[in-house]
Amino acid sequence: ILTIVILTIVIITIVILNTAVLTINILNVAVLTIVIFIIAVITIVILIIVIITIVMLTIVILTIAIINIVLITIVILTFVFITIV
C-alpha cells in the first residue's frame, strides 16, 4: 500500500513538474518571438532612417554641385562677354 501511495505521489509530482516546464518553455518561446520582433522592427526603422539621411545628403550635394556649376558658367560667360566687349 505504501509503495502504491509513494508511486502515485511521484507520478503526480512528475506530471506537475512537466506541466510547469512546458508552460515555462511556452513563455520562453513567446518572449523570444516578441524580442526578435522588436529587434527586427528597430533594425528596419534604423535602416529606413539611414536610407533617408543618405538620400537627403545626396540631394544636398547634388544641389550644391549644380549651383556651383551654374555659378562657374555665369562667371565664365561674364568674362567672355567682358573680353568680347
- pLDDT tens-place string over residues 17-72: 899 888 888 888 999 999 999 999 999 999 999 999 999 999 999 999 999 999 99
Q: What is the pLDDT of residue 26?
A: 87
Q: What is the pLDDT of residue 2?
A: 81
Give the position of cell 522592427.
41
What DSSP character marks residue 73? H
Burial 22-48 (b: 16+ CB within 10 A, else e): eeeeeeeeeeeeeeeeeeeeeeeeeee
Q: What is the pLDDT of residue 46?
A: 96
Q: Residue 3: which pLDDT band, with cuts at 50, 70 and 90? A: confident
**CA 33 – CA 43 distance, rounded (Å):** 15
**CA 7 – CA 48 distance, rounded (Å):** 61
Which cell numbers hold the place of 36?
526578435
Would the pTM count as exceeding 0.75? no
